Amino acid sequence: MICTGGNSITSGAFISLSGTNPSFYTQYNYSYVAMTTSPILMFAFETDLNSNYFLDSVSVTKATVPSIQLLQNSGFENSTTQLNGWVLSCNATCSAGAGGQATYGTNCYLSTGNCFLADCPDTSGTGAVVFLGQAFSATIGVTYTISFRLKMAYGGSGSSNTKFTASIR
């Protein structure tokens, strides 16, 4: 895994966002047909000095059985600052900010519970990116529904050098 940003984080993404959107929590839904028995849901975040991403309510279910959650700690509720059930990569590239971590309070969906905060500006100019991922059990050929809520908090003026992607590896 390459721990610098740029176009490399958009490879294979089913969603790719940049700039200051979404400024309010937005739910994203995606259908995925399994091609392996242990796919990895991967999120990548690039932020700047004036922006953070907040991720909440992540879900992976079989399309035919939406009541059974396949992820561990999908809403980050079983986390304090450690992200139980999730793998956080490249956090050391963050030269400022809090990095990637669990947080709680008004920036989380509905202003309650926990969520994931990506605050990883790169003051060195080389590009910093934080990856958050989790593998889940799947049956090849079966359709799964992936959903999550995302918000971008932007405190600057002008443009923002941020990127967010979600992909299956």
Residue pair 116/70 in contact by the 8 Å Cβ criterion: no
Per-residue pLDDT, averaged over 17-23, amounts to 83
Q: How far apart are CA 135 and CA 167, in angstroms?
A: 12
Q: How far apart are CA 25 and CA 27, in angstroms?
A: 7
Answer whether residue 1 shows pLDDT above 60: no
Asked if residue 6 belongs to a domain, the reply is no
Asked if residue 7 belongs to a domain, the reply is no
pTM: 0.91
Residue 28, domain extent: 23-154
- What's the pLDDT at 155? 72
- What's the pLDDT at 91? 75
Per-residue pLDDT, averaged over 136-162, amounts to 88
Count of structural domains within the chain:
1
Q: How far apart are CA 154 and CA 152, in angstroms?
A: 6
Comparing CA positions, the residue from 101, 92, 34, 96 lying closest to residue 63 is: 34
Residue pair 92/1 in contact by the 8 Å Cβ criterion: no
